Structure 1
Amino acid sequence: GVDLATVREHRAYLVRITTRQALGRLRTLGRRKESYVGSWLPEPLLTTPDVAEDVELADSVSTAMLLVLETLTPTERAVFVLREVFDLGYDEIAASVDKSPDAVRQIAHRARAHVAARRPRGTVSPAETRDALDAFRRAVETGDLQTLVDILAPDVVLLGDGGGVKQAVLRPIVGADKVSRLLVGGMRKTGAISLRPAQINAGPALIIHLDGELDTVVTAHVENGRITGLYAVRNPEKLSHMARETALRR
């Protein structure tokens, strides 16, 4: 509704209104999470393969990193993303979040320390994650319990998000034996199922179809060739961006 001819700095204006829209969205989601059924996971995005070429961007939208960012306050998250991902100056960020530049510097420092303490350790190539997921898929499809246990880290964590609409684990499942038995047992109880590799949130993942219908999106975190985290989204409201690829760029 704004005549852009009256805006002196289009880029700064767009950064400001986008940031404020995002802050409003984050605060709304925060209130919804208070009554959310089970674990809350980020909405998966079917992304284009070229996103992985920008390592920093790919890391910033990975499921593991988004879960870390969820532990920040909305303002901390906005400052962190604008500074660390888009490399904006403190003055420009300050105008977007209605803070002084000095306050933004302090928020950025606090957010960086918070993320550094919680972000996944080590850099894992997409190929390593893809190989682990391929082995995981074959083991689940064949019901090979021992191979599945070997692929999973001893302290692997499985999180499921059904949103109270679809059946999912309500609490994190921890441990290779528990997770593998749950997965193999679940496969035996379902109908015609297929697991298809895909690029989700700029990383390798699996899309599960049940009786020909989209059912679950599974992303994973891998360390030292083993899966340490599995994130399964089943909530239909969060699978709306799976029909077509989303292009991401800075």
Structure 2
Amino acid sequence: MPENGLTFDLGGKVALVTGAAGGLGAATARILARHGARVVAGDIDEAGAGKVAEEIGGRALHLDVTDPGSVEQAVESILTGEGRLDILINNAGIDYIRPATELTLEEWDRVHHTNLRGPWLLSRAVFPHMAGRGSGQIVNVASTAAKKGWSNATAYSSSKHGLMGLTQALHAEGRERGVRVMALVAGGMRTNFFRTLDPPPPKETLQPPENVAAAILFMVCQPEESVIQELVVTPMTETSYP
């Protein structure tokens, strides 16, 4: 082990990554698996998650983070099949890019149910297991929209602001029981997130999701006596933060 105690060996660990069928979720599943974790790729797109799981030698699960029953069933399946769950990456997220006055109630609710209620449901489901073992890590994938509101993204920005508050409150509850809860604040990435923008941002102004996934790896590989409570990773050209 290095002198500073930091190792990137996740051998023996089980990780659940949500939104793992593509983008940052797939990149995170890949890098955690490369460093020894047994990765469960969860996504509402089970076929897409299956492709990622097959690639990394992991396991795919149909997971709708907005559905309490789906969440409970997924976590129970992991604990039954794997015997443990060490790392939860709450990555699944959506947005509708349009002015606040044009956003429907159904769209608002779907964004908040996916981006905020979903991480709460999953954290609630895994918390007793992690606390009972005295060890566990939860990484909530936030956004620079959690730091500075974006025009035409009221639902998304407010959901990510809420996710930061959820992260801090959960960590306050978990730290005395060995559960570390962290926020990864990501800037723009080369994923499908901006697919509805016309025109989309220039590719050269965005960062590859693999860069952000590497930051997540760094967060979950800290010694148990330390925690990176919040980490901001943006492209060098990011203008929305700070």
Same fold (TM over 0.5): no
- TM-score between the two structures when normalised by the length of structure 1: 0.24
Larger Rg computed on CA atoms: 1
> Of the two structures, which has the highest relative contact order with CA contacts closer than 8 Å and spacing of 6 or more?
1
